[in-house]
Chain A
Amino acid sequence: MAPPGPDAPESRELPSGPWRDASDPGRNPAQGALPSPRQDRVVSIPLIRLFAPEADPTERFPRERADLEGYVLAPDRTITVALTAEGPRALDLLDSIWNAVERKRVGRRNHLVLDERGRTVCVMSLGVEIPPETLELLRSLLVVPVRLGGGFAEVHFLASDPETHSLVRTLEEIGHPGPAPSTVALPPARETGPLRSEDWAFLGFLSAIGAFEGPDGPTPDAVAALLGTDPASFAAQARAVESGLRGLVTGMFSPPAGSPPGAVP
């Protein structure tokens, strides 16, 4: 993936240069000191910050792309992610990403599963040393999928201005020093309902591994094993997400104002 250019999501372009130097993306000067709303922030992060330059798998496979479709955080702070890839050497790219992760000594487990759509999904567990508070920030603001390719990760956040600044600091704390991330786009803000970012990430993970794909898909037992977590913890997360889903659905199918009493969505 090339650094975002004309194909980037429609939005106004922000000042060029290091992202941290851009003056409060999304802030309306007329807002003064009012708290800024949460908006979609899209940043392009050079992967050189995560992988050693000579081993960045996305640079070695320029015709392939990988998508981080979802993730789950285990109680022991292990992060398990689901990565899909496309391109003629998609499997090699996934292999290569795992090798790069292992070189950084953060890889714990790696499974390849095939979902019903015929995609190979790499499920890898990572023991990443990230302070709990920054991890919490990422969990609450990161929007999946994250596309990896051509030496960059295109990362979406739903964040306010102060949160955005904290995220920049977080990203600077992860991985090796390298060029700062650059802002690529600022799409219109939108309401996302009662599901939190990590709920979406959980749904994305289950979707990616084919958990919702009929009777032959992974069972809750298999998913719990993939995640290296106990079924009770997995069940609790599934219940929490289901509850958020119900809230979102209720909002979306609410009868419009003026509907007769008793109109059930």
Chain B
Amino acid sequence: MMRLIGAPEELPAGSHSLSLYASPREAADQMASFLKGARELGQPALVLTDNDSMMPLYREAVAQTVPELMDSFRRIPGSHTYETPEGRRPVPAALEFAASHPEGASLCGDTIPSILNRNSLASVLAYEDWFDTLRPFYHRGLCPYDLGRIPVERAPEALERLAGAHTHAVLSNDPSPGVRFLQLLVLPHVENPPSEHLGWLAQAVEYGLIQEEPGERSVGLTPRGADFARALFHLPEYARRADELARRRQRSGTDRDAAVERRTERPEE
């Protein structure tokens, strides 16, 4: 069963870990913490990225934490996993780096969240299952996941499978309720769930948003729970856009009325 830890820097050698984040800033902070752990273990590190917009954030976070590991980043365009007849596999750069450091290295690729959607979810989960079969090793592997990219109705299954394929997990510290709600689905699959989170989970069950599923320690979203999660992630923005639209319509209506009024008034001038 997967173990929760406070920050990626605590990840031990030999771990294959999941980190959940809710914003680019949090993803960058987690990455810097992961590299800090590599330095403390004396491991070489490699972070594969294809995301130009993340690089400034990575640089900023790493500069504050482990500036000497700034050159751990290598930009490789496109996804860092690709389909083979046997399933999704990592790009050669990652495997070669690991093979050239048999004493142990810290490795991370950040492209899974960018390819994650309903269609790719199954192959991504199968990839994680496969990757976990490579253990035992002396390396540290970090798999960052953007919680907002996990399809809500598949989240219980996805998080359970991810928990089964990783040794450790880092939860997002984002205070937004959608993030905290979705993360509750991980709790039954970790060996050390925080008591405060268990209290929230109990409350969510009481509200009829999360339900126990058949099977050991398994939970799922009720239909209301799924609507609730989607709404938490997206309704505030949706309501804002609806308000804006209504205001725009009202303005154009007022402008039209004024124009009509002006036209009506003209003959009398």
Interface residues of A (CB under 8 A from B): 69-70, 116-118, 144-145, 190-193, 200, 203-204, 206-207, 211-213, 219-221, 223-224, 230-232, 234-235, 238-239, 241-242, 245, 248-249, 251-256, 264
Contact = CB atoms under 8 A, between A and B. Distances in A.
B206 A191 contact: yes
B153 interface: yes
Contacts of B82: none
A147 to B, nearest CB: 10
B203 interface: yes
Interface centre among A192, A230, A245 (most CB of B within 10 A): A245
A234 B242 contact: yes
B135 interface: no
Contacts of B228: 203, 245, 248
Interface in B211-269: 223-224, 226-228, 230-236, 238-239, 241-243, 245-246, 249-250
A159 to B, nearest CB: 15
Contacts, number: 109
Q: Which 8 A-B pairs have the closest CB atoms?
A: A235-B242, A220-B242, A238-B239, A232-B246, A212-B234, A212-B230, A249-B177, A235-B246
A249 B208 CA distance: 13
A234 to B, nearest CB: 6
Given A255-B196, A264-B175, A238 B207 contact: no
Contacts of A248: 207, 228
B166 interface: no
B184 to A, nearest CB: 10
Given A207-B230, A256-B199, A241 B235 contact: yes
A234 B245 CA distance: 10
Interface of B is mostly: helix
Nearest to B203: A252
Contacts of B181: 249, 252
B74 interface: no
B200 A253 contact: yes
B231 A239 contact: no
Contacts of A249: 177, 181, 232
B249 to A, nearest CB: 5
A238 B227 contact: no
Contacts of A238: 235, 238-239, 242-243
B235 A242 contact: yes
B139 interface: no
Contacts of A254: 203
Contacts of B209: 252
B233 A231 contact: no
Given A206-B238, A238-B238, A231 B208 contact: no
Contacts of A231: 242, 245-246, 249
